Structure 1
Amino acid sequence: MDELSLLPLGTSDFATLRLRNQIYVDKSALIYKIAIRPGKFFLARPRRFGKSLLISTFESLFKFGLRDFKGLAIEKLWKETETYNVVRLDFSEIRPDFGLEKFRDDLRDRLIDNFAPYGFNFDKTGTSIFSQLSSWLKKQAPNSLVILVDEYDAPLTSCLSNLELFEKVRSLLSDFYAILKSNDGALRFVFITGITKFNKTRIFSALNNMSDLSLDVEFGGLLGYTKEEIEKYFSPYLASAARALDLTRSELLEALMRHYDGFCFERSATERVFAPWSLLNFFASPRNGLLDYWFESGGKPSVLMEYLKSHAMRSPEEYGREKTISLSTLSGSSDADTLSDLGLLTQTGYLTIKAVKY
């Protein structure tokens, strides 16, 4: 590391990040542990924690092999020589804001656009997009396709205050995920991200078919930066910021921990990570001080705004006190009308796991 290393601020494409020689906090050993296993995986994290970059990293690995991973831990671990057809879907780009019909058309067009490069041809005069896509998947070679879905729940969270529309959107999405389940043989790997878990989407209806990594102890540090990673990868920025604020390195680290550390995403409550968006913005302009970067950019997600339209919240003082919530509430699927306020605030990043009681 030197002073010229570029911060990865705002870069969510892995290949671009590596091409620009921006700092990459090497998570590839953890990524290897997931990618080596054929299967379907789900990860819930708040906004601005790097879910899109993670999806992009999987895309690069399966599509191009080790092309973009020179010098990273996975380079010595990954032995697969095959590459795969990778379909990447970002559902944050299709929301039912303009009604169900527009959403149905947008979903259809998105599926056509993303599957077409691999030979899928949609017949407008034929059966539904889901039926045609299922028929096409059945013709694919075994173990040949990778599906990556970013922000799977964005269409659902945008209509939390309209239960009728919510149910119709969920039904459409369920048809898509049902196709993936019924054509499992063609799939080498499926990875899905979101903020929260909604039931009846057929993603979580059979847990033996989907590995939920959200509270997994082994992957608590998959997104976000640990204190050790900050000291290793951002040492020049720590030194520069300490000089700018007239602090010692230890004083700066303590201040950073007070403001940006403390997020815990695993069930043992032993590993804590910094919010990467806050930390990177601070390092970019340390003279501005330790501002609330995450809240301004990621702390007002649509899921919370929609929730507030149709659900009552407790007084702010109540949320300032330690609360008890069952791990099953955090790990289980919810419905639009039964979504727990504590569970939602934890999944969106306002609350975090502090300790586990048995």
Structure 2
Amino acid sequence: MVDLTGLPLSITSFSEFCERNKIYVDKTDLVAKLAQFDAPIFLSRPRRFGKSTLVSTFQELFSNGLDKFQNLKIVTENLWNDKTYKVIHIDFSQIKENTENRPFEDKFYLLLKSAFKEASLAIIEERDVIAAFADTIGTEDNGTLVLLIDEYDAPLTAVLGDKKEFEERRALFSEFFSTIKAYSGKFRFIFITGVTRYSNTSIFSAFNNIEDISFNPAYGAIVGYTQEELEQYFKDYIEYAAKALNRKEKTCKYTYEFILDELKNNYDGYSFDEDNEWHVYNPWSILNFLTAGIQAVLA
């Protein structure tokens, strides 16, 4: 019987993958390649596709080095030779909801304060969130910080039906990213993820050098599971699902190949690169099938 506890359903933290012995699909060769960029990087992907896990991997790498990366490509292929940094990790999905009792800028400030504390930075109290951000990072030496922004657009998509609130948030974000650009020399690495790119709202207008890798074939498989990865990391689970289904339905029609074909028919519908070179599975869908399907058979 396979161990269902190895499946990383609802796990996004790289440290948690390691500490709880979860299956981690190794893309650290691409992580090392991306980490060499000098320009800010932007990646757009749908939700539940692994963006947060990718951000967490960068956080662990830049914060603590290679300690937890043993046996992964970045170590076995000798792809990393860098020091550690103060990492500012901001997850905007934490403050996306609109609440009457606390303005968005106040929630933004508290999120920023928490991110600075995690990076061992004491926020400089200021009159507003942008000034606090600028004055705090302004005291740091050049090239000593890493900035990771996950789900930057979550607070915007959450208020698409409220034109006034959307515009207030958009204006604040535009100012925030302009400030990041003004202090770009402080950062060794900047990585931003989201579901969409608001190209017509001037949010990224300051980043005239931003590297959008969303449709770059070189990173078409940076998140999601390729066919090869599906078979490499989840072969035992797929084989067990076939055996369990045969046992439950008293048949022998379910084989490893049959389940693979059905997974491909149902879940292999994503290709993000402009050359249509890579096809990837949504990790959430695959992990739900493997978890719920096997549990249903065992019930």
TM-score above 0.5? yes
Q: Where do 5+ consecutive residues of structure 2 fail to align?
A: 247-253
Secondary structure of 2:47's match? coil
Given that residues 173 and 203 in structure 2 are in contact (C-alpha distance below 8 angstroms), is that contact kept between their aligned partners in structure 1? no
Secondary structure of 2:34's match? helix
Aligned mate of 1:263, from 258, 270, 279: 270
**Residue 203 to residue 171, structure 1, CA distance change in 2 (3 Å):** closer
CA distance in 2, matches of 1:231, 1:250: 10
Partner of 2:60: 60
> Displaced runs of 4+ in structure 1, greater than 6 A?
none
CA distance in 2, matches of 1:282, 1:52: 21
CA distance in 1, matches of 2:275, 2:229: 20
Q: Residues 192-240 of structure 1, C-alpha deviation per residue, up to 9 Å, x if partnerless?
A: 1110011366553256421111111111111111111111111111110
More deviation, 205-214/269-278: 205-214
Alignment of 1:217 with 2:224, yes or no, is no
Alignment of 1:108 with 2:109, yes or no, is yes
Secondary structure of 1:118's match? coil
Q: Residues 26-57 of structure 1, C-alpha deviation per residue, up to 9 Å, x if partnerless?
A: 11111111012233111111111111111100
CA distance in 2, matches of 1:148, 1:51: 11
Given that residues 32 and 77 in structure 1 are in contact (C-alpha distance below 8 angstroms), is that contact kept between their aligned partners in structure 2? no
Given that residues 74 and 80 in structure 2 are in contact (C-alpha distance below 8 angstroms), is that contact kept between their aligned partners in structure 1? no
Q: Where do 5+ consecutive residues of structure 1 fail to align?
A: 290-358
- Correspondences of 1:6-85 after superposition (within 5 Å): 6-75=6-75, 76-85=77-86
- Correspondences of 1:124-143 after superposition (within 5 Å): 126-143=126-143
Partner of 1:281: 288
Cα displacement (A) at 1:282: 1.2
Cα displacement (A) at 1:96: 5.1
CA distance in 1, matches of 2:277, 2:65: 33
Secondary structure of 2:181's match? helix
Cα displacement (A) at 1:81: 3.7
**Could you tell me the TM-score, scaled by structure 1's length?**
0.75
- Aligned-residue Cα RMSD (Å) equals 2.2
Aligned residues with identical type, % of pairs = 38
- Correspondences of 1:307-326 after superposition (within 5 Å): none
**Residue 221 to residue 95, structure 1, CA distance change in 2 (3 Å):** same
**Could you tell me the TM-score, scaled by structure 2's length?**
0.89
Amino acid corresponding to residue 42 of structure 2 in structure 1: F
Secondary structure of 2:69's match? coil
More deviation, 157-166/182-191: 157-166
CA distance in 2, matches of 1:100, 1:175: 24
**Residue 204 to residue 100, structure 1, CA distance change in 2 (3 Å):** farther
Partner of 1:250: 257
Cα displacement (A) at 1:177: 1.2
**Residue 96 to residue 171, structure 1, CA distance change in 2 (3 Å):** farther
Partner of 1:156: 156
Q: Residues 221-272 of structure 1, C-alpha deviation per residue, up to 9 Å, x if partnerless?
A: 1111111111111111111011122311111111010111121111111211
**Residue 34 to residue 224, structure 1, CA distance change in 2 (3 Å):** same
Q: Residues 169-188 of structure 1, C-alpha deviation per residue, up to 9 Å, x if partnerless?
A: 11111221111100011001
Cα displacement (A) at 1:288: 7.1
Given that residues 220 and 273 in structure 2 are in contact (C-alpha distance below 8 angstroms), is that contact kept between their aligned partners in structure 1? yes
Alignment of 1:193 with 2:193, yes or no, is yes
Q: Residues 141-170 of structure 1, C-alpha deviation per residue, up to 9 Å, x if partnerless?
A: 111101111110011001111222211111
Cα displacement (A) at 1:287: 4.7
Given that residues 100 and 165 in structure 1 are in contact (C-alpha distance below 8 angstroms), is that contact kept between their aligned partners in structure 2? no
Given that residues 124 and 135 in structure 2 are in contact (C-alpha distance below 8 angstroms), is that contact kept between their aligned partners in structure 1? no
Partner of 2:251: none
Alignment of 1:120 with 2:104, yes or no, is no
Amino acid corresponding to residue 194 of structure 2 in structure 1: G
